Copies of this chain bind each other. A is one copy, B any other.
Amino acid sequence: MRRRGFEHERDLVRRLWSEGFAVMRAPASGSKVKRTMYPDIVAIMNGRVFVFEVKTSYREKTIYIPRNQVEKIIEFARRANGKAFIAVKIIGSGTWRCIPIGELEETRGGNYRWRSELVRKGLKIRDLVEMVKSCKKIDEYLD
């Protein structure tokens, strides 16, 4: 299962790289540093930083994210001045959907949830590219 997880992470790395991002995957380990500091993937373009925790789903179902994973990528994104996302790969279709951390729902147990009916409305990779490019246009007015 861990091996399969990495394959999906690599798929997201490849897709973001081919869109022009600088992308890095975290070391594959159950080490403390991975659990407490590193997101699964960081993607950067034109100084804009996207931080990802990666999930997979065999269909569009509700996705649960432990509180510590959410806190970890929030802290990483805060330091970088970046934006934190959960990225889910829908295995059947091979498509990716992303949601900004701030749009997750908190559960009563203090963890987080991304409801199945909202997964399909998540951001596509091309939406992330668009976020970078539209931001670049704004910067161009300042240069």
Contacts and interface: CB of A to CB of B under 8 A. Distances in A.
Interface stretch (A21-29, A87-95, A100-108, A116-124): A21-29
Contacts of A17: 37
A33 B24 CA distance: 10
SS class of chain A's interface: helix, strand, loop or mixed? mixed
B82 A20 contact: no
Contact of A22 (B21, B47, B79, B142): B79
Interface of A: 10, 13, 17, 20-28, 33, 37-39, 42, 44-49, 51, 76-82, 142
Given A22-B76, A44-B44, 8 more contacts: A10-B33, A20-B79, A22-B42, A24-B24, A42-B42, A46-B80, A47-B49, A142-B142
27 contacts: A10-B33, A13-B33, A20-B79, A21-B79, A22-B42, A22-B49, A22-B51, A22-B80, A22-B82, A24-B24, A24-B26, A24-B38, A24-B42, A25-B26, A25-B27, A25-B33, A27-B27, A27-B28, A42-B44, A44-B44, A44-B49, A44-B82, A45-B79, A45-B80, A47-B81, A47-B82, A49-B49
